[in-house]
Structure 1
Amino acid sequence: MFRRVAVVLTCILVSSLFGIVTTTSATPVQRTYIAVIDAGSSGSRIGLFALTGVEGAVETLLFVKPPVPPLSTFESHSSDAGPDGIAPLIAVLDEKLAELGIDPSSVPVALFATAGMRRVEARNATAAKAIMASGRTAIATLGHPVRAARILPGELEAAYAWMDSNGESINSRTATHGVVEIGGASAQVSFETNSSKVPDVLRFTVDGRVFNVVSISYLGLGANDARMEMRRESARGVPCYPNNASGLRPKRYEGSSALPVRSVKANFDWEQCSVEYGRVIRRVGRSPSNSRENDRVTPHQVRDLASFGATHFQIADTIGYVLQDFGIARNKNESRRLKRAVTAVCAGSDAWAQVRAMYPADQFARAPLTCANATFVRSLIFSRDGFGIAPSHLDTNVQRETKWDRGFAWFELHGGSRA
């Protein structure tokens, strides 16, 4: 599956997925490489990973998100997906390989598309297949073995995120933790269970250990998709956005979307916004596609699955940004603190002035979304409509972001398999 290249390590510092490893050995070390492309709903990133042979450490050599169009935007011109959406990523990879003196033919590339392409596949399977074929051709034409080129099921995306977050625990054979993450188009929850008979359980073998992992993904419950759904049902989202009585820019929140919100008419109300998001979570969570993919397990039923109540969870993606923005990360009872912090900033006449002051210029695009996204995060994680995670079981003191593509690389480089 992988090709091995001998590399001499002399007094180098290895930055691994799970920590910093130092070696002073002059003995040639066999490295195994893999590159992974995460073709997401907002764009694509590429990572280069290596198994160094130093106590099983996996090193991240490259992890970037160049400005290329998302694969889902090539639905009407699928043949351009490879040249315009994938080839620029391979060019970045090859530049790094040249810098490291690594032969591109020794580095297989795995291309996985996620939520954006799942939507394309649902409405136009022919176009989705052609887009992925174009991506595969681009990788092969540029001299790399193709490890995979397909649309990644949501449950595997969640499972690989769990592996990325738990790699150190698996290596040290200590207790694992769950992962809850909210992306742009989908939300995932994953945790190890003591039963192989619960719904949505995936069975993996890694380094001689067998893991039963409950792995569930809800398409449509990412922060962006949920916000759009809420706006369609709630007077264009008025109770979830801060009031802008002074008429400062912008005149319309998310003005380029199909459902802009007039900022002067907005009037954030935590309780009403939570009610609106509760409706979205219930409706989207039991949609035909999610019911089919998740064995009819809706978000509020996840808490009834074996081992959920005993699991401590770590956060990923939008959740971390929200807690950081409101200054409550690494605190106890984030549920209560989040409600207080968001209400203090987002509610009241002319609250937009307070919200916009939270963000520097390079992050200002997040400002119009922050009150709505924060309310959604709390609703999905803590409320009875959502997963219902106990605040005492949510660990927000996370030192590194969880990334499913790194988890896939770790799984592959450690010879993992589906049991």
Structure 2
Amino acid sequence: MKKHILVISQYFYPEQFRINDICTEWVKRGYKVTVITGIPNYPQGKYYQGFGLFKKRKETYNGIEIIRIPLIPRGNNPITLALNYLSFVVSGFFWKVFTKIKADYVFIFEVSPMTQALPGVWYAKKRQIPCYLYVQDLWPENVEIITGITNKHIMGAIGKMVDYIYARCTKIFTTSSSFIHAIEKRNVTREVLEYWPQYAEDFYRPLKRTIIEEIPNDGNYNIIFTGNIGNAQGLDILPKVAVLIKEKQVNRKIRFNIVGDGRYKETLVKMINSNNVADMFNFIPNQPANRIPEFMAASETAFLCLTDNPLFAMTIPAKLQSYMACGIPIIASADGETSRIINESKAGLSSPAGDAQKLSEIIIELSSKSSKELQELGVNSRSYYDKNFNKEVLLNRMDRNFRENLVLEEKQIV
């Protein structure tokens, strides 16, 4: 009989998160998978076309049963974002009370908000089954950094919620080894924690150099950024970098191609215009994830950026694996784990987070390299990915966890 995995993830297809592929792979491996998620609205902040409170609340995707519980869209301000987080939890509570689903495991895909884990924890307790938490964003640290909230009562309450969730998980997986040390400080035993890095979907692969209409083929040095345009990405550094590059009058013109959308996009465009560097930027709307390798193949290097903060120094953003899987040289403005991986892999160059001067220098340095030198960096990038983020190896490890912990839970119940 197929083992049944209940996945709790506030974000799921058609929203572009790696949990979509993880669930698809589990179906291929013979699991039954049900996903409890929200009505898609990320990152635009409004329901996707064709979805709503009374539209497509249930559907099947790649053999996965999707159940969408009601939630308020993210909107574009802190109040609607808070309501978005809260509404998922409230809906999840009532879903837990009335559902007749009988799963064997709970797997919680935790990108912010951590609150989304509560329905999964409650369901696992009700059914007395293993509960797995996959931590992408550290809370409460992430809340303080992103929102600026420092009130000790609010942060204390969030901290208690996080501790409540951790204490009720059979196993906690992290996307970064640095997260393990941070979570241990919250009285979580080391045996419960495991580093399980992200992998990239199979369509992220090296392609031959190509020309696409979205990126002009005019001899410019094309740098590609893909994904959410939010505060955490620290893209406000780019207008400053563009000004510095212009001042140095480099031989080859540099263009930043920004593919995606997000809450910070409008502000970023205003900064670019006020600095008179709009000619160095090319904004491209959100694209289907499986098209992103084409954009990589039309670019010289990929760009990754995080704000200057101790928390983000511990973070390995998912786009790093996507870039490396495509075998493209990487330019980064980041500290800690991300910088270490880029330097260790010899896949590109990294500058300290927030250092516009140093970032402009490494961009100019890479733009002066020959095609052969860039190709070598790309080969290093893909080679490191194959050795450290292999999809089959990682999924096999998760299979073993499922089997071992289910046996352990059954012994405890007996």
Query: Normalising TM by the smaller chain, what interval?
Result: 0.3 to 0.5
How high is the TM-score relative to the length of structure 1?
0.37
More strand by share: 1
Structure with the greater relative contact order (CA < 8 A, sep ≥ 6): 1 or 2? 1
